[in-house]
Amino acid sequence: MKSVKTAKPRAKKKPAKKAAAGSAGKSSKKASPSTAKKSPQKKNALQKATGLQDVISATLDADKAQDIVCIPLKGKTSIADYMIIATGTSSRHVASMARNLRDKLSQEHKIKARVEGLESGDWAIIDTGDVMVHLFRAEVRAFYDLEKLWGGDFSTVNYTRYQSV
Expressed as residue numbers, the domain containing 26 is 2-43
Q: Do the domain assignments include residue 99?
A: yes
What is residue 11's predicted lDDT score, i.e. its pLDDT? Answer: 39
Name the amino acid, one letter, at 47. Answer: Q
Asked whether 82 and 132 are in contact (CB, 8 A), the reply is: yes
Q: Which helix (H) or strand (E) holds 25?
A: helix 23-62
| Residue 72 shares a structural domain with residue 114 | yes
Please, what is the Cα angle at 52 between 131 and 117, to 5 degrees?
45
| Residue 32 shares a structural domain with residue 58 | no
What is residue 163's predicted lDDT score, i.e. its pLDDT? Answer: 57
Q: Do the domain assignments include residue 39?
A: yes
| Residue 27 shares a structural domain with residue 58 | no
How far is residue 112 from each of residues 36, 42, 65, 107, 126, measured CA to CA in Å? Answer: 30, 21, 22, 9, 10
| Residue 65 shares a structural domain with residue 86 | yes
| Residue 23 shares a structural domain with residue 86 | no
Q: Name residues of the chain where pLDDT drops below 50.
A: 1-38
| Residue 59 shares a structural domain with residue 138 | yes
Of 10, 25, 43, which residue sits at a domain end?
43
What is residue 10's predicted lDDT score, i.e. its pLDDT? Answer: 37
| Residue 7 shares a structural domain with residue 77 | no
pTM value surpassing 0.75: no
Q: What's the CATH code of the domain at 90?
A: 3.30.460.10
